[in-house]
Amino acid sequence: MSKRPLLSVVDDDESVRESLPDLLKEFGFTVRTFSSAEEFLASDSIVQTKCLILDVAMPGGMTGLDLQKELRRGGKEIPIIFITAQKDEAIRAQALREGAVKFLYKPFSDTALLEALNAAVPAN
């Protein structure tokens, strides 16, 4: 496929939504950003998203873990790479148990992210 795979970034932090897409574009992806899990669910990107880069803590609504559960329930098996600033082992364990590809702590290096992406989207 010459078309660049679609990545969806869901994070309430605006600086993440600013900086991450450029990096991902450098990696060769197309990117859509969403500021909340609800926004993502309401969008039409679910089907096309090859990989979800998901923040854990998103106050005011569904958390990343909630979205992960919701997608599984809905049968939408999108590979998820979690990014978070909080070091909480329990959350990490649960996320991985629920099938997350990778659980990255901010700040993460670009190589770590690339590795995770390669694992999530092997076709690239």
Partner 1 sequence: MNSDTSKSIHLGRFNIGPRLSLCFLVIVLLMLGGYGLLLWQFHRVNARGNRLAAVGQELIAVSRFQADFFKLNARLDELAKAEDVEGLKKEAEPMRALLQSDIDQTRNAISRLPVDLNSDPTVLPTIEAIQSTLPSQLAKVTALAEASDWEAVRLRLTNENKPLEADVSALVRAVELQVRKELAAQLMESARSQNRILIIVSATAVFTLAVAGLLGLAVTRSITQPLGSLMTGSKALAKGDFSHRIPTQGDDELASLSEVFNDMVVRLQGLYMDVRRSEAFLAEGQKLARIGSFSWLITSNEIKWSEQLYSIFGLESGTRVTLDLIGSRVHPEDLHLMYDMVARAQGGVSDFEYEHRLLMPDGSIKYLHLIAHANRDREGRLEYIGAVQDVTSRRVSEEALAKARSELSRVTRTTSLGVLTASIAHEVNQPLSGIITNASTCLRMLSADPPNIDGARETARRTIRDGNRASDVITRLRTLYSKKDPQPELMNLNEAAREVVSLSLSDLQRNRVVLRHELAEDLPHVTGDRIQLQQVILNLLRNASDAMSTIDDRPRELLITTERVGGDRVRLSVKDVGIGFTPQSMDKLFEAFYTTKTDGMGIGLSISRSIIEAHRGQLWATPNSGPGATFSFAIPCRPEGLMDADTRVNPANPAAGAA
Of 19, 73, 13, which Cα lies nearest the Cα of 41?
Answer: 73
Q: Which of 7, 8, 10, 20 binds partner 1 (CB under 8 A)?
A: 20
Of 41, 123, 104, 116, which Cα lies nearest the Cα of 76?
Answer: 41
Counting contacts by CB under 8 A, is residue 105 touching partner 1?
yes
CB 35 within 8 A of CB 64: no
Residue number, 2 or 111, with CB nearest to partner 1: 111
Q: Which of 4, 32, 38, 43 binds partner 1 (CB under 8 A)?
A: 38
Counting contacts by CB under 8 A, is residue 68 touching partner 1?
no
Q: Which of 13, 30, 69, 124 binds partner 1 (CB under 8 A)?
A: 13
Question: CA 83, 35, 59: angle at the middle one, nearest 5?
Answer: 75
Residues 62, 29: Cα–Cα separation, whole Å: 26
Least distance from C-beta 66 to partner 1, angstroms?
Answer: 9
Residues 84, 105: Cα–Cα separation, whole Å: 5
Least distance from C-beta 40 to partner 1, angstroms?
Answer: 12
Counting contacts by CB under 8 A, is residue 41 touching partner 1?
no
Counting contacts by CB under 8 A, is residue 83 touching partner 1?
yes
